[in-house]
A and B are shown apart, each in its own frame.
Chain A
Amino acid sequence: MIASSKSESDTTTLDAMTPVPFTITKRTQDLADTFTIELEPENRSEGFVFQPGQFNMLYAFGVGEVPISISGDPAKPHKLIHTIRDVGAVTHAISNLKKGNMLGVRGPFGSAWPVEEAIGHDVVIVAGGIGLAPLRPAIDAILANRTQYGRFVILYGARSPSDVLYMKQLQTWRGRLDTYVDVTVDHAGHDWAGNVGVVTRLIGRANFDPHHTKVLICGPEIMMRFTIQELTAQSVDKDDIYVSMERNMKCAIGHCGHCQFGGHFVCKDGPVFPYGRIESLLQVRGL
């Protein structure tokens, strides 16, 4: 089977373990170590259809494969967008790819943010660092249907002002009169007019209705833990809190066993979990 020359119907019957080569159409450097690539899904008239929160396995020729969340707008499936932090061998190899180069793609995999279920509720997005990337498709989807939701809150924490991802977009969202955006950094110089401190401190003043809210959280596990603590203190129900988990993944289809988290496979039962489902597991170190 030659994956790249397959027609549309054939691509779906391909082994889920075989990557399909996509061409990079654009590459932008977001931060010192973070970049965004746009890929063109070839031979797919409907584009690359996905749900906010899902991820792909990206393959750099001859180097290897990594799970990366999709960070583009789900309403624009003709552009597949990934924001990636250059931290390991594979992400570094992807970082070196240029416009016109090819990248192998398998996916989309995993569960989605509860964008539909959140209709009629306030929505609070809490993101830390690159955790904003997997949440951007949810933000796009909510803004596309803005009137269907109540108060819309985006809380974002980064290490320093130069680590703030999607700065321009955050400013655009912040400029909207229907969206509340609050950003904080762990440390900053005198040229920073915003908050300094942890993201959990932004929750109390965000003024959402804790009993009619869906909260979507993505960031380091420690940040998610403290955010949940704060939300629970504000009496948000644990089943209204959704988190995106990160685990080692090799196959993304529940076969390799690496991403197990208690009885869950993060690749197919997650990465997005209602907090109530994994609450007891998050209390135990090293699961």
Chain B
Amino acid sequence: MNTKNTQQNAAIVIGAAQLDDLVKVLRKDGYATIAPTTRDGSIVLEEISSAAQLPLGLVDDQQPGAYRLSKAKKPAYFDFTHGAQSWKQFLFPAKEKLWSAHKTAEGFQVEASIDAPKYAFIGVRACELAAIRIQDKVFVEGEHVSNGYAQRRKQALIVAVNCRRAGGTCFCTSMDTGPKVKDGYDLALSELTRKGVHEFLLEAGSASGQTILKRLTGRPAAAADFKAAQKASDKAAQSMGREMPKGAAKTLANHLQHPRWQDIAKRCLDCANCTLVCPTCFCSTTSDSTSLDGQNAERWRTWDSCFTLDFSYIHGGAIRRDGAERYRQWMTHKLTHWHDQFGVSGCVGCGRCITWCPVGIDITAEVRAIAKDK
């Protein structure tokens, strides 16, 4: 679906009020339209039935260990960046039934299970799109395919949005993943607020995106619209207050025994928040359950975290017994070993692990601290 578009993208400009038409068209096509909305003072991703449910006029203040939503000066739809959740929870749900088994006269039979709703994701940021493509490498492009993920992913339609504002913990420019989407989307939105006129530049990035675009009413996009969109995106890039130091992969690989790991462990609560909010973390565990009469059994796959002791348990005890070893596993996997395994970094620079760390550990600052000792 997300075939790379080498031609000039088809593009139109729609009024902000027409955003709802896009939601309607997608719903008519049978998509579950998932988009950002607000709940409990935070941006969450949920199914919406109308554009009115989008978080209009809100911005977020994200800092290490802190997140607040507040009213924006401009009534824009997408000037917040992102909340704790990512699209991972739909493509790779936190809990998924893999199969069920039932007893038979000869023994038992196993029946594979797939739950694959047809999703349209509205408001996918560049970093999040990069994260989806990283999880594709894990679940689809390797030797073995995760059938559930593959089916959900294949059906998913992606409406990306270009960031006009950098969040307080963002560092996507240094990871080369944003703030502007490059490819891999079906449609891309750029929000334009000029002289009291609220519009969206809507670009198609795939054949399906193009088909949808044709069903919407708008005016042809002009050079000034592209220029305004680019200017907003450049502003986001320039206002990014963080960056991942260059050569992070090597820095960590060369310092597996660095004293900094112990220092981080003193602050780290082993809470696993960073792994759960990370849009690329893919570790999972399986659990089996049985019906009370013992006739039926099910296997469920659930998100897991390398921060638990149980994660590395083998007969005789856990491999990673102290917090420093577990933090090192997470950070070296993300920034170093991911390259060995999948040819890319596992970090997209979204900053979620910094914001949602209860003690505000900053992955970029930790790399910098370790890099100091060459």
B110 A3 Cβ-Cβ under 8 A: yes
Q: Indicate the member of A5, A250, A265 with the most B CB atoms within 10 Å.
A: A250
B337 engages A263 (CB within 8 Å): yes
B325 at the interface (CB under 8 A from A): yes
Stretch at the interface among B16-24, B101-109, B237-245, B266-274: B101-109
Task: Give, as a whole number of angstroms, the nearest-CB distance from B100 to chain A.
Answer: 10
A193 an interface residue at 8 Å Cβ cutoff?
no
> 8 Å CB contacts to B: which residues of A109-151?
none
B53 within 8 A of A: no
* Chain A contact patch, size range: 35 or more
B297 at the A interface (CB under 8 A): yes
Known A257-B304, A263-B341, A284-B256; judge A250-B285 contact (CB<8 A): yes
B284 CB–A CB distance under 8 Å: yes
Q: Which parts of A1-20 form the interface with B (CB within 8 Å)?
A: 1-5, 14-20
Residue numbers in A under 8 Å from B329 (CB-CB): 260, 287
- Is there contact, CB below 8 Å, between B109 and A257? no
Considering the chains assembled together, what is the distance between the CA atoms of A248 and B112 in angstroms? 24
Indicate if the CB atoms of A15 and B294 lie closer than 8 Å.
no
From A60-68, A155-163, A199-207, A230-238, the one touching the partner chain is A60-68
B337 and A251: CB pair below 8 A?
no
Instruction: Report the minimal beta-carbon distance from A238 to chain B, rounded to whole angstroms.
Output: 19
Contacts of A255 on B, CB cut-off 8 Å?
Answer: 138-139, 144, 146, 282, 284
- How many residue pairs at the A-B interface have CB separations less than 8 Å? 145
A3-B111, A248-B314, A287-B256 given; A254·B144 CB < 8 A: yes
B139 adjacent to A64 (CB under 8 Å)? no
Min CB–CB distance A255 → chain B (angstroms)? 6
Determine the chain B residues whose CB is within 8 A of the CB of A285 once the complex forms: 325
Asked whether B283 lies within 8 Å of A258 as measured between CB atoms, the reply is: yes
B320 at the A interface (CB under 8 A): yes
Min CB–CB distance A37 → chain B (angstroms): 14
Does B142 sit at the interface, judged by CB under 8 A? Answer: yes
Residue B90 lies at the interface, judged by CB distance under 8 Å to chain A? no
What per-residue 1/0 map shows which CB atoms of B309-349 lie under 8 Å from chain A? 00111111001111011001100110011011100000000
What's the nearest-Cβ distance from chain B to residue A260, in Å? 6
Q: Which of A2, A17, A254, A286 contacts B98 (CB 8 A)?
A: A17
Cross-chain contact A257 with B282 (CB below 8 angstroms) = yes
Closest-CB distance, A198 to chain B (whole angstroms): 18
Q: Which residues of chain A have C-beta atoms less than 8 A from B332's C-beta?
A: 262
Q: Given A248-B314, A255-B139, does the pair A15, B325 have CB atoms closer than 8 Å?
A: no
Docked-complex contact A1 and B112, CB < 8 angstroms: yes
In the assembled complex, the CB of A23 is this many whole angstroms from the nearest CB of chain B, namely 7
| Interface: B160 (CB within 8 A) | no
| Distance of B274 from chain A, by nearest CB (Å) | 14
> Does B290 reach chain A (CB closer than 8 Å)?
yes
A21 close to B108 (CB less than 8 A): yes
Whole-angstrom distance between the Cβ of B284 and the nearest chain A Cβ: 5
| A247 interface residue per 8 A CB criterion | yes
Say whether B108 contacts A65, CB under 8 Å. Answer: no
| Residue B263, interface by CB 8 Å | no
A154 adjacent to chain B (CB < 8 Å): no
B257 at the interface (CB under 8 A from A): yes
Chain A contacts to B: CB under 8 angstroms: 1-5, 14-21, 23, 61-65, 85, 87-88, 101-102, 104, 220, 246-248, 250-251, 253-258, 260, 262-265, 268, 284-287
What are 21 sample pairs from A and B whose C-beta atoms fall under 8 A apart?
A4-B108, A17-B146, A18-B112, A19-B110, A21-B108, A63-B288, A102-B106, A102-B107, A104-B108, A246-B314, A247-B312, A250-B284, A250-B286, A251-B284, A254-B144, A257-B282, A257-B283, A257-B333, A258-B312, A260-B333, A286-B325
| Among all A-B residue pairs, the 6 with the closest Cβ atoms | A102-B107, A263-B340, A286-B325, A257-B283, A62-B290, A253-B144
